Chains A and B, each alone.
Chain A
Amino acid sequence: DGGITQSPKYLFRKEGQNVTLSCEQNLNHDAMYWYRQDPGQGLRLIYYSQIVNDFQKGDIAEGYSVSREKKESFPLTVTSAQKNPTAFYLCASSPPRTSGRSYNEQFFGPGTRLTVL
């Protein structure tokens, strides 16, 4: 079945350590996104990528890094520079522009809950 997978579901790290969250999709989507969700808040955009080997900062990119070496994969690294990394992280992807107006629709993975101790 096609879909978006994120791993692991739960992640615990010590303060000061970098950690990488995985996001994979087999939907043949071009664009991929990373969001952060805090309790009682909407989703805030960290980074996005519209094509392979290209990505752009979102609204809260500081302390995070990404790569897009393959169309299917968009890993997010939470670095020690991120001051408050404990949160729920969501990855999403959207169809190619050739799919028409559904290009605007984003489909989400199950999320990774990161807790920094």
Chain B
Amino acid sequence: GQQLNQSPQSMFIQEGEDVSMNCTSSSIFNTWLWYKQDPGEGPVLLIALYKAGELTSNGRLTAQFGITRKDSFLNISASIPSDVGIYFCAGQSPMGGSQGNLIFGKGTKLSVKP
């Protein structure tokens, strides 16, 4: 089945640093979504991307839909402590039925640098 590879698995941030993470797929998607999950809570939608090459911002967050339609990137600029959490990418296949549902990456865990 389709799989999403999300990297890095985890990273430490120091306040003020920029952060980058990405997701890659073995097949094309027609939608990319980025979510953030705080401990013990449900994921919250941050950014939705619908077109290859699309670049969308939400405050300090910027995400891009890769030209090949097989990848997506999320950047966080000037990180702050409340950015800590787990970030998930999710892609939707252009195929129908259950395969048209979202497929999730395993997440990138952001922690504060000790």
Contact = CB atoms under 8 A, between A and B. Distances in A.
Contacts of B59: none
B91 to A, nearest CB: 10
B98 A104 contact: no
A101 interface: yes
Contacts of B98: 45, 48, 56-59
Contact of B102 (A57, A106, A110, A113): A106
Contacts of A43: 43, 88, 90, 104
6 contacts: A40-B107, A42-B106, A43-B88, A45-B98, A104-B48, A104-B102
A107 B45 contact: yes
Interface residues on A, range: 20 to 34
Contacts of B90: 43, 106
Given A42-B4, A56-B98, A110 B41 contact: yes
A90 B102 CA distance: 14
Nearest to B98: A56
Interface of B: 1, 4, 6, 31, 33, 35, 40-45, 48, 50, 88, 90, 92, 97-98, 101-102, 104-107
B104 A105 contact: no
Given A42-B4, A110-B42, A33 B101 contact: yes
A63 interface: no
